[in-house]
Amino acid sequence: MTLSFPPFEGMIRKIILITLAIFFCLLLLHWIAPGIAGTIFAVGALTPVMVLHGAIWQLITYSFLSGGIFQVAFDMLSLWFIGSYLETTYGTRWLTEIYFFSVVGAALTTIAVAYTHAFHMSPAQTTYGALGGIFGLLAAWAVLMGDQKFLMFPFPISIRAKYLVIIFILIAVASVFQGPNGFLSLASLGGALFGYIYLKVAPRRGYAFAATERVFSFRNGYYRWKRRRAARKFEVYMRKHDRNVKFDGQGRYIDPDGKKDPTDKRWMN
């Protein structure tokens, strides 16, 4: 347990810098041309009725928008402290996948509930902020490192990660029922749900790594097939010239006078 800041690098650094750049650009634009700034914000924020009419980019862009300096400060600090630790431990690709999986999952959850009109919500309501992705990381943090203790600065007490995450989730649940930010809290809960789902269904090192392994496995299998095919053609060619050569099932030449170990694959791909 230390009071040092986590490393500011990798995908977390990019997300934070992009979010801050958008926030200050819109802030400046709002001072110069309020109408244009409002239009850009409305196009990027998550509005369920607009998504169902084709604005599918809102499933991601809403996470880069913030409503004020306190929201962007809280969101980015939370993302920095939680995301950097997970990215350092599990890698950039894994962090990127679970973050944006949670962001999109939070948006889909919000859209689905909005169209049920539960909790007095409407598809015409708008939400924004990075809490969907942050709560997805919180869910991963609770599952993977739930027993880790850290100091609750500025209070001189420590708490386990899983208990802190439970507190955050309970606050979000209460906000859905009675708080003024129920739409945003609903997105947070959706992010936590999809972050947990990702941990349960995704490969251990993420979908991108698994896909890369499949591509290289397919490529190597294709090269081995080409080698075996070339070996069979060479056998036929040599038989036509009254010479008998042999290759094994992997396309390796069998020396009739040699005593090489047939299981030696050090020279193979």
Residues 175 and 237 in one domain: no
Distance CA 49, CA 126 (A): 9
251 and 136 in one domain?
A: no
Q: Is residue 42 part of a domain?
A: yes
Mean pLDDT by 10 residues, the chain (269 residues): 71 95 94 92 94 95 92 92 90 92 95 87 90 94 83 67 87 79 84 93 66 65 76 77 75 66 53
Residue 217: inside a domain: no
Task: Give residue 215's pLDDT.
Answer: 65
Is the link from the previous residue into 154 a cis peptide, with omega within 30 of 0? yes
Contacts of 3 (CB under 8 A, 6+ apart): 151, 153
Number of domains the chain is built from = 2
Joined tokens for residue 181: 């930010």
Q: What residues have CB less than 8 Å from 82, skipping those under 6 apart?
A: 134, 137, 138, 141
Any domain includes 25: yes
Q: Please tell me the distance from the alpha carbon of residue 244 to that of residue 228, in angstroms, as a whole number.
A: 17
CATH of the domain at 163: 1.20.1540.10
Q: Determine the pLDDT at residue 2.
A: 46
Q: Which domain holds residue 238?
A: 222-269
Rg over CA atoms, the chain? 27
- Enter the tokens of residue 111: 């859209």
Instruction: Quote the pTM value.
Output: 0.76
Cβ neighbors of 87 (< 8 A, separation 6 or more) are 10, 11, 12, 94, 95
Same domain, 193 and 138: yes
| pLDDT at residue number 67 | 84
DSSP string of 160-212?
EHHHHHHHHHHHHHHHHHH-TTHHHHHHHHHHHHHHHHHHHHS-TT-HHHHHH
Instruction: Say if residue 125 is in the same domain as residue 42.
Output: yes
Measured between alpha carbons, how far is 133 from 119 in angstroms, rounded to an integer?
22
Residue 62's pLDDT is what? Answer: 96
Tell whether 155 and 86 lie within a shared domain. Answer: yes
